[in-house]
Amino acid sequence: MQTINDGKQGEYGMPKTETVTSPSLTAATRDSTTNEAGLLHYQLDREATLDPILPAPAVGYRVYKRRWFGLIQLVLLNIVVSWDWLTFSPISRTASEFFDVSETGINWLSTGFLFAFVVVAPIVVYVLHFGPKPSIVSASVLTLIGSWIRYGGVRITGSVSARFGVVMFGQILIGFAQPFVLTAPTRYSDMWFTDRGRVSATALASLANPFGGAIGQLVNPFWATDASKVPDTVLYTAIISTLVALPAFFLPSRPPTPASPTSSLPQTPLRNSLSILARSKPFYIILLPFAIYVALFNALSSLLVQILAPYGLSEDEAGIAGAILIVVGLLVSALLSPLFDRLHTHLVPIKVLVPIVAASFLAFIWAPGTRGLAAPYAVCAVLGASSFALLPVSLEYVVEVAWPASPEVGSVVMWSAGQLLGGVFIVVMGALKGADGEPEGSMKRGLVFMAVVACVVVPLPLMLGVRRLGLGEGTRKGRLGVDERGGSGEEGQVEEA
């Protein structure tokens, strides 16, 4: 490989270079155009193994302490957006009394939020392609507007239908905000972090979303002790959302110099990224279980009060179960994500964790029937631990096998599928709720539905990396291979923000 420096300035202010590779490359075929950083485009063959194209070795890669400010902003936004989503679910009976609608009507506040994600997803892909900051700012604006519209809605007197309609409109606006921050972590970690920190950064920002749900599950029942306190609960969440959203406008757009070899490369055009994803067999194999488990988790979080209440558990006790589900998951993920970063492993944790997630949903069928706290709390702890450890490693795995597709494309597709199915599952489980179970109003049939769906997809990720099934490319290192050859480094110079 020969590198030619023509003295011009490229992206990040680095010398613009042209890289010439030998004709012996079997992993790629040369495209006819040269990209803006002077590196040649290559079209990956669907069965090829990657032979990375590295930038000039003279480039110095740096990570900056200021990267933590953007990551913290992503974390906080994901927390408040999820908290806003589950404002009413943990107090479904109290909210039902306040709005004078059924609990099924309250469920639609969660369902509409999830469907809103899918509607705006194509715009999110386009915005994220320009970097994480425009996406973060968009989420902040939508969250601010939606939060205060909801508060205006709960203060409407006289017309119950108008009150609920305005709140639903505000809820949908916040639903539009969620994909802008929920799909941003892989793009942000790709730009600001090296291969030794990306899984942890993605985990921290992505898992902040369910952590916000845990706060809502735990705090909202204590705020809304009766129907008259519902407006105050909405006001408190609006104030918190405002305080969190405002700093987004002051974040840096990108690091002054790239963090790794792949960070210095221009983003693959959206059309090409979609084409790469469409030809990736491992992407389809991981997409289905990811979407289903995200959907089941969302449905369980939204309906937990209605699942446990028929067996004598209060809203407060159900809220604690939801908090255990999420907090235990966060703690386990905090321990395992740095380990996965150091070992550079994706397939092993995926194949180990998927059966545990499915077994947890299966066990949950019988947990409420014990009429005690121990079984639901224990199953929630195991389910949360396995689900939260699985989520970030799955997102990063897709980035690896689909590289050089832009990280945000796969992330948006996977999250959109999960949110869409989540809305569908909430509707289905609401329809399965009835007087046939023991006791009246039991959602046991809905729990059976969840367990069956969770178990059906278990074989799919177990096939990843099996060459006899044509899935050997699932073991390919894409972005990671480039960074390993290019000498990226947390060991490089770290600049103060």
- Give yes or no for a cis peptide into 404 (omega within 30° of 0): yes
Instruction: Indicate if the pLDDT at residue 486 is higher than 70.
Output: no
- Report, in this order, helix, strand and coil percent for the chain, each rounded to 5: 70, 5, 25
Single-letter amino acid, residue 231 = P
Give pLDDT, residue 359: 95
* Domains in the chain, CATH or no CATH each: 2-60 (no CATH), 63-253+266-478 (1.20.1250.20)
| Per-residue pLDDT reduced to its tens digit, 81-111 | 989 988 898 888 899 889 988 888 888 898 8
State the sign of the Cα–Cα–Cα–Cα dihedral 473, 348, 293, 466.
positive
With bands split at pLDDT 50, 70 and 90, how would you rate the model's confidence at 33?
A: very low
Give pLDDT, residue 263: 55
More confident residue, 341 or 213: 213
In 3D space, the residue among 380, 83, 82 whose CA is nearest the CA of residue 216 turns out to be 83
In angstroms, rounded to a whole number, what is the distance separating the alpha carbons of residues 167 and 153?
A: 5
Give pLDDT, residue 176: 94
In 3D space, the residue among 385, 330, 87, 59 whose CA is nearest the CA of residue 219 turns out to be 87
Strands 63-64 and 494-495: parallel
The pTM is what?
Answer: 0.70
In 3D space, the residue among 249, 253, 139 whose CA is nearest the CA of residue 191 turns out to be 253
| Per-residue pLDDT reduced to its tens digit, 178-195 | 989 888 887 777 777 766
- Do 315 and 90 contact (CB within 8 A), yes or no? yes
Single-letter amino acid, residue 68 = W
Instruction: Indicate if the pLDDT at residue 471 is higher than 60.
Output: no
- Do 217 and 323 contact (CB within 8 A), yes or no? yes
Write out the two tokens for 491.
């060991």
- CA distances, 397 to each of 97, 202, 344 (Å): 45, 12, 10
